[in-house]
Amino acid sequence: MPISASSSAASLLRAASSSYTRTRFFPSSFRNLNPSLVNNTNRSVASAAVRSFHCSPSRWSHRLDCRSPLSLRAQIRAFHPIIERFQRKFSSMAGEHPFKSVLTSLPKPGGGEFGKFYSLPALNDPRIDKLPYSIRILLESAVRNCDNFQVKKEDVEKIIDWENTSPKQVEIPFKPARVLLQDFTGVPAVVDLACMRDAMNKLGSDSNKINPLVPVDLVIDHSVQVDVTRSENAVQANMELEFQRNKERFSFLKWGSNAFHNMLVVPPGSGIVHQVNLEYLGRVVFNTNGMLYPDSVVGTDSHTTMIDGLGVAGWGVGGIEAEAAMLGQPMSMVLPGVVGFKLSGKLRNGVTATDLVLTATQMLRKHGVVGKFVEFYGDGMSELSLADRATIANMSPEYGATMGFFPVDHVTLQYLKLTGRSDETVAMIESYLRANKMFVDYNEPQQDRVYSSYLELNLAEVEPCISGPKRPHDRVPLKEMKADWKSCLNNKVGFKGFAVPKETQGKVANFSFHGQPAELKHGSVVIAAITSCTNTSNPSVMLGAGLVAKKACELGLQVKPWIKTSLAPGSGVVTKYLLQSGLQEYLNKQGFHIVGYGCTTCIGNSGELDESVASAISENDIIAAAVLSGNRNFEGRVHALTRANYLASPPLVVAYALAGTVDIDFDKEPIGTGKDGQSIFFKDIWPSTEEVAEAVQSSVLPDMFRSTYQAITKGNPMWNKLSVPSSTLYSWEPNSTYIHEPPYFKNMTMQPPGAHGVKDAYCLLNFGDSITTDHISPAGSIHKDSPAAKYLLERGVERKDFNSYGSRRGNDEVMARGTFANIRLVNKLLNGEVGPKTVHVPTGEKLYVFDAAMRYKDAGHDTIVLAGAEYGSGSSRDWAAKGPMLLGVKAVIAKSFERIHRSNLVGMGIIPLCFKSGEDADTLGLTGRERYTIDLPSKISDIRPGQDVTVSTDNGKSFTCTVRFDTEVELAYFNHGGILPYVIRNLIKQ
């Protein structure tokens, strides 16, 4: 803003600039202010103004601390927020919003107005009409938040000119409307906030500055360990067990909901975060104090993308990145390319949305969409229900996209009404989106939009399928499943192989199950779970599963009792419509009792198998199978004893449970024998599309959504009984094994540590391709012989109470010991041995990874990790970055990184490096037994995003890598040792 806008403003700005002339927190726009003009009086006035401004009420979209994409080195790398506060205040005084001319009223049809909004059509730029809808959301945010300081007019121009700028990997700032947490990531987020308050307090600053500045929705969902299954009382029994195990964790979150402003906590037992977000939390359009703007959200789980099916721009970020957004940091992101995915035709009879999403996932993986948006369009959109769209959007991480976006249209509006949103709210949403060119009306001629690349799928070509046995994008057409399974048994060990000798492939393991004769073979199903928001949010596949169960019951088919069956809906609405339809009765008869409302088998909470089943598998080395309606089937995730894990639609889960094996050709072989002695085939139990549609139409009603979510706000008896302290600083219990104060800010000073390379580091682990966050930081059970188990046993925790790594994410001591603790870890240093160990290079000893890391740390040695392609794929998991940092890992050198995980590494001060194209550890002749020196400049000003650096080893080898600090903002984080120290230092300097 021109300084001449207000003489008093200029005076105060001079005073502010004088106080910080010697700091780096000094924007170039004020460098021409003469500090000599400032006297003590001015300083007093400035100080008073600061105190007054800090204490005054402000709207939730605070612009605290800039992460602008432009020349951070020159002006914004770590500017002081007080200057920005003054600029915003005086800009407001002068009324100089750069786009104030497009601020427009939105009239109500009957008179009055809904509110005001920044109108994209009023910009009168023809390029906007060609923009993908997903990019228009980024544009609106930039226009609305433009202050020529954090968000500049140049940023707006970059987005408008998306067609030309996106191929250049330009950076833009983005401010999400809200942050979404689920409890597994919500606990460490609240722990970090509490820890930051303590750090602020110890450094003599106002600890209450640490508060979320955007709305935070925290849903306690990952809380159902499937212990009790085949029981009418399974929900209550599992809930009681969860409260026994997690009372401390739940109490801590309840404390957080009271201690921190702007944080909504949805109690446990309410549902899965992404389904609750879709059915209840999603606003689509915000109306905040009369200002209208699109809902947008970043969440700490990669499947936050489910909300894209509702036309809300949302994607997963690391927990660390989300915490920064909560604290007012605008997000810095590379302006993405957008893949246009055209849908045409109609799904054939009997084909499910799950079949569609597995097909689309395979297509998009092959096309290559990492780091891009995917936007769906075309005539086929009208054939997809909102729930079908949400299923496709949910699996964006599986096909690698930042999000899979479905613009708002009439189908969206119908769903909003179905799920209990008021008529007035829906009218406001439609009016705003139409007025701002963000609504798709397929009854009107469509203007062509420009996309970075194009794909097309005729829905009629989709066929029934499943995916597995180890990755979600390894799709297998149902008709080819038997042959594919045989090849998996024969193939060498890998993503599609188990290397079972031909002479043992027909092995039969006979055992007694509760006095009943039973048998297992390779491919026998031992877990069949209808789980995960991906599918349980979709009435068509859930009611389809009920119809399969009903037909099977009527024909006399029964699921074998040793198969662990479960049904875990993503919200209570599912129970209501399954009861309304009368189909829950038949699911119960087949063993699919409701076990709880939350993530279960998909996240690794499958619970223990019956001891007799577990023994039969282990003693006979059986390749047992799990079939689940989830989105992840990485090895070791579902259960340690199920080496083959297949993703399937809920109806197919029931079908495979009835068959008892994945080694079956449904077209030719019978599923079983009916009550009349006749063979029953797949076609005999599979419902038609018309049957499913009729069940949906008669059973899914708006009142079900209203009553379910009205009850959520009241909590439940067990939650309401939890008593928590009222203090704003948390009283850490040193002996707690759930909530522990992490050492992130130990000995923290106001001076940033600065840039640093790595010298003579040992290689902690040497990996191949596709190391997932499950491998790095497993969420499932804690193995009885692991360092984490030893830690818990030493503190009096019995093995039965170990719980999962996911439930203990609030304790850094457990999570550090659980880092690289996956039992299926393949580390090249072990020469083919599988498991969570490594070689301590100086001594040659084979140790658990944690023990080796501590040995290195105690000796004062840094460590690195070598890896192949797609390092960190899978769920966004902040502990996959926090854990390695606590182990002393200073850098990861990989062929490529998953987007969120790379960002998380930077957020924890770990250097991500990429081998040059065509190179990796093997081609360079690296064994991992060398010592590594990374020649990074010691001054942050000498480092550029994406620059080349030299890595050398103690045996004389040297090679070039690309440093993956992708933005200037990430360099600032690295300079400070991570995002959180960066935020604290800036807040303290206010």
Q: Reduced to 3 states, what is the DSSP secondary structure of residue 484?
A: helix
At residue 222, the pLDDT reads 57
pLDDT in tens, 593-649: 988 777 777 666 678 899 999 999 999 999 999 999 877 777 777 888 999 999 999
**CA nearest 292: which of 113, 169, 455, 432?**
432
Banded pLDDT at 133 (limits 50, 70, 90)? very high
**pLDDT averaged over every residue in the chain:** 86
- Please tell me the distance from the alpha carbon of residue 590 to that of residue 977, in angstroms, as a whole number: 54
pLDDT in tens, 35-50: 333 333 333 333 333 3
Q: Reduced to 3 states, what is the DSSP secondary structure of residue 340?
A: strand
pLDDT in tens, 171-193: 898 999 999 998 878 899 999 99
Q: Indicate whether 579 pLDDT > 60.
A: yes
- Please tell me the distance from the alpha carbon of residue 511 to that of residue 475, in angstroms, as a whole number: 33
- Please tell me the distance from the alpha carbon of residue 674 to that of residue 263, in angstroms, as a whole number: 54
Residues 6+ apart with CB under 8 A from 591: 229, 230, 559, 561, 563, 565, 657
**CA nearest 519: which of 627, 622, 436, 416?**
622
DSSP annotation of 169 reads T
More confident residue, 660 or 235: 660
pLDDT in tens, 702-723: 999 999 888 877 788 899 999 8
At residue 38, the pLDDT reads 32
Residues 6+ apart with CB under 8 A from 981: 744, 745, 748, 752
The answer to whether 789 and 799 have CB atoms below 8 angstroms apart is yes
Mean pLDDT, residues 579-591: 96
CA distances from 320 to 179, 326, 327, 674 (A): 12, 10, 11, 55
More confident residue, 794 or 967: 794
